[in-house]
Amino acid sequence: MTDPIIVMKQQVGKAAAEYIESNSIIGLGTGSTTAYAIEHIGKRLQSGTLKNIVGIPTSFQAEVLAKQYNIPLSTLDMVDHIDIAIDGADEVDPYKNLIKGGGAAHTQEKIVDSLAKKFIVVVDGNKMVDKLGSTVPVPVEVIPKALTPVIRQLKELGGSPDLRMGVKKAGPVVTDQGNLIIDTKFDYVNDPKSLEAIINNIPGVLDNGLFVDVADLILIGEIIEDVPVV
Ligand code: 5RP
């Protein structure tokens, strides 16, 4: 039996890709849900239902995937706007605020997603929370030399910071920018807008995974129960 979470991710990824119109510039997010959107955009290009698009990837991972599906790519230096961006999230609150960065890509994702005229978030139903921070930490991208003082200041803010380690804990996760990620758990985030600004004001921090007032539309995957045939 297929994992229902995967079914939900496929469902919303495909649905988001249907929002793309020909002749547009598209922000391509990072993560397993967006991967299904990228795959479907590629299929639409191949079938001819979509023409003349260009993608702006938010990570090396998204770039590799887009190339695999023959999606033409460009960079922020070459375009003056982004029509639409599709990206995943780790948590979504009732006000469409997000925690992102589970894939360590939130810095580039925030640049691209916030430039888009329409930013569509694709999530499975498990990502919806009443308050941000309930289930996941806030990822903070930090310049390696500033690691220790930034950890200290995140503790002073009431967080429990933890350096993100890679597979088998052989070494820390390194971002596309060559930096480190400090996952910082808060009991919950009361005021995401001010916490986002306060964390980003710590010297050595590049950006954090709180996305406030950026998302326009949330597509939420649902488990569709099998209806017994009578
Ligand atoms: C990467 C992200 C991802 O979009 C987020 O972690 C969701 O990933 P997935 O779709 O695999 O659950 O923010 O930095």
Q: Give 110-129 pLDDT, tens digit per residue.
A: 999 999 999 999 999 899 99
pLDDT at residue number 223: 73
Residue 222 CA to its chain's centroid (Å): 19
Q: What is the percent of the chain with per-residue pLDDT over 90, rounded to a whole number?
A: 91
Q: What is the percent of the chain with per-residue pLDDT over 70, rounded to a whole number?
A: 97
Residue 72 confidence (pLDDT) above 70: yes
Would the annotation count 102 as a binding residue?
yes
Would the annotation count 187 as a binding residue?
no
Residue 31 confidence (pLDDT) above 80: yes
Residue 41, token pair as written in the block: 């955009």
Catalytic: 156?
Answer: no
- Quote the pTM value: 0.95
pLDDT at residue number 51: 98
Using the structure block, give the residue that is written with the tokens 């980003």.
200
State the average pLDDT for the chain.
96
pLDDT at residue number 222: 84
Residue 16 confidence (pLDDT) above 90: yes
Q: What is the pLDDT of residues 172-219, one digit of tens each?
A: 999 999 999 999 999 989 999 999 999 999 999 999 999 999 999 999
Angle at 7 between CA 60 and CA 226, to 5 degrees: 175
* ipTM summary value: 0.99
pLDDT band at 169 (very low <50, low <70, confident <90, very high): confident
Q: What is the pLDDT of residues 57-71, one digit of tens each?
A: 999 999 999 999 999
Mean pLDDT of 129-136: 97
Residues with Cβ within 8 Å of 59's Cβ and at least 6 positions away in sequence, in order, are 30, 103, 105, 108, 109, 176
Would the annotation count 87 as a binding residue?
yes
**C-beta of 221 in contact with ligand 1 (< 6 A):** no
Q: What residue's CA is closest to ligand 1, atom 4? A: 88
Mean pLDDT of 15-34: 98
First CA to last CA distance, the chain? 22
**C-beta of 90 in contact with ligand 1 (< 6 A):** yes
| Catalytic choice (109, 156, 222, 225) | 109
Residue 87, token pair as written in the block: 């990206």
Residue 224 confidence (pLDDT) above 80: no
74 CA from centroid of ligand 1 (Å): 22
104 CA from centroid of ligand 1 (Å): 8
